Chain A
Amino acid sequence: MAEIAYWEAIRRAHDEELANDPMVIVMGEDIGVAGGTYKATLGLYDKYGESRIIDTPISENSYTGVGIGASMAGMRPIIEIMSINFALLALDTLINAAAKIRYMSGGRVQCPIVMRTPGGTAHQLAAQHSARLARMFMSTSGLRVVTPRGPLDACGMLKSAVRCNDPVIIIEHERMYNLKEEVPDEEYFRPLEGAEVVREGSDITLIGYNYSVHLCLEAAKRLEKDGISAEVVDLRALKPLDRETIRRSVEKTHRFLVAEEDEAPVGVGAEIMAVVTEDCFYALDAQPARVHAADVPVPYNHTLEKAAIPDADDVYQSALKVMGKI
């Protein structure tokens, strides 16, 4: 086991999959000669050459479409979109094409692409670099959507995504690229389905995904000092969603909240609320809560940005409320 950073984990997954299968290619802006905005493809251009590590023009919709077309003919493209905001330009090829081609061809043509992108707020990048669009992909039939919370999943899930026959959207986070975690030295895979209890507890369940898992873990530590035992569930996969793990945890703790960096209306949190209501409503002993971003385009100003985006304290305060402590 060695401790590596999130970006190194992604780079390792690329390297291993490129070495494993000559049909794997990588496409994106500045991913080749420049090594990638977040270093996720550093050194791979020199190792695998320009025919496999493809620097694209700034044409998100069409280069994503090129990847999709290549996948229909047997290739395994990993497509990087520099920021999830830019993925909005590629929604036609992602949602109208990749997500629908298997279905509308009656299962005869598949699009095994992987689209990786950071989706979240970093530091003062303002509204057009801070979108959180997980909910949009989560609501699209024909896609898999995963949100690796750390290096272990970042490497293992990317490798699984490359080998899986469906289009997979991997949503990363700019604030996680330098996060470190131990990963096995030998080759390993992490599955694309299944939520995970990352901290056991008995009084309340804190449900998160992507960066908000870390907010939940921090809040759980503070709650412990108050004598409250919090369980933390990482959704890991938003689509398909693991309802069973959510139900089991809520039936154990009888209280929950869901924390996310996305805005609230029609968010992932709303879906989790609906799932709990449908699957285990009578297990609840208290009114649940959602922790989410303010319904505003993300502001540039540091103080305003901080106010717009939830932090660990927001999760903590919200948990106390669910527990009836405030």
Chain B
Amino acid sequence: MNAEDQKRLLREMIFYRRFEDRTFEAYMERKIGGFLHLYSGQEAVATGVLEMARTGHDYVITGYRDHVHAIKTGAPPREVMAELYGKQTGSSRGRGGSMHIFDPTVHFMGGYALVGQPFPLAAGLALACKHKGSDQIAICFLGDGANNQGTFHETMNMASVWKLPVLFVCENNLYAIGTRIERSTAVTDQYKRVCGYNIPSSQHDGQNIETVMEAAKNAIDHVRGGNGPYFIEFMTYRHRGHSMSDAKGYRNKEEEEQWLKRDPIVLYTEKLRKAGVLSDKDIKAMEKAIDDEIENEIIKFAEESPEPRVEDLTKYVLDDNPDPRWIGPLQK
């Protein structure tokens, strides 16, 4: 990889971290409501995998920790922020909020709050790709906790039987909400669990972005090559609690400190600094530019955008312009 791409990827990860930090502040100021699940600590996974995908062409779907996946797929960050603010200019017109970011213009098909629900939806997106004879694939990001849902097993089975072009990315952050993996899961290595469905799989370090990219490339090549699904597991760790209401009482300090040392941004910054790609001064300038962008463009847009109109409350429930040939009225 060339130095420009390396710098860009580091900048992207720092941007995602600052973006999430800023949503935390807005949440504390009560400008963002509901539940807010932050991605900080896991940035190398979404960034690395989607760097290797054809974003805007392939379909991407995930759970409720979805801001970064949406942005890396191509959703404009200011629309994602406006969604968190509940504004009409938001990705989902203020109807979805943090957990339900959608941007079909770049094939980001949503964040979902039902753990494990995106598995079959992803397989369906892949079925459509295959049916159309397209070289598109579907990429489904979910956590280790989702693998204890029935949808995991049902979908792995169908994806394998029908050889669907779907990549399942398991972000194993060791906790299903607040329950540690070995307390909830008989087989803690998640990649081993799909062998019962004849799906090839592998496990990798999710904190080193270049490792993620290399592994993702192989997996994506496999899927795009018409060989059916692939399941890829990345070991990672979230810095913050499950959501804003979570004080992380179930984790111990030593474990957190160990993982903080392996923070993906810290690791990559060190690597690029050592390689002479970036100086401390460059990093400072980068951070400053990111903060300015977030404040002056993204937050400003979200703050100044209009609220949805109350008279539009029942819009979007059903097709707002249905064809009378199918709908009626019934000829009496």
Contacts and interface: CB of A to CB of B under 8 A. Distances in A.
A92 interface: yes
A64 B154 CA distance: 11
A273 interface: no
Contacts of B95: 103-106
A58 to B, nearest CB: 9
A164 B317 CA distance: 14
B73 interface: no
B126 to A, nearest CB: 8
Contacts of B71: none
Interface stretch (B104-112, B257-265, B269-277): B104-112
A51 B318 contact: no
Interface of B: 59, 61, 90-96, 100, 102-104, 109-110, 112, 114, 117, 119-129, 131-132, 138, 150-151, 154-155, 157-158, 161-162, 315-320, 322-330, 332
Contacts of A242: 330
Interface stretch (A185-193, A206-214, A282-290): A185-193
Contacts of B112: 97
Interface of A: 23, 25, 51, 54, 56-57, 59, 61-75, 92-93, 96-97, 101-110, 141-142, 144, 160-161, 163-166, 189-197, 236, 240, 242
B326 A189 contact: yes
Nearest to A77: B124
Contact of A192 (B104, B122, B162, B328): B328
Contacts of A197: 332
Given A69-B125, A69-B127, A105-B100, 4 more contacts: A65-B123, A73-B124, A97-B117, A105-B316
B327 A193 contact: yes
B120 A69 contact: yes
Interface centre among A51, A54, A61 (most CB of B within 10 A): A61
Contacts of B322: 164-166
B194 to A, nearest CB: 15
Contacts of A196: 330, 332
Contact of B155 (A51, A66, A67, A164): A66
Contacts of B92: 104-106, 108
Contacts of A108: 92-93, 102-104
Nearest to B113: A96
A127 B332 CA distance: 39
B131 A25 contact: yes
A62 B161 contact: no
Nearest to B330: A194
Contacts of A106: 90-96, 102, 316
B151 A110 contact: no
B158 A104 contact: no
A75 B131 contact: yes
Contacts of B125: 69-70, 72-73
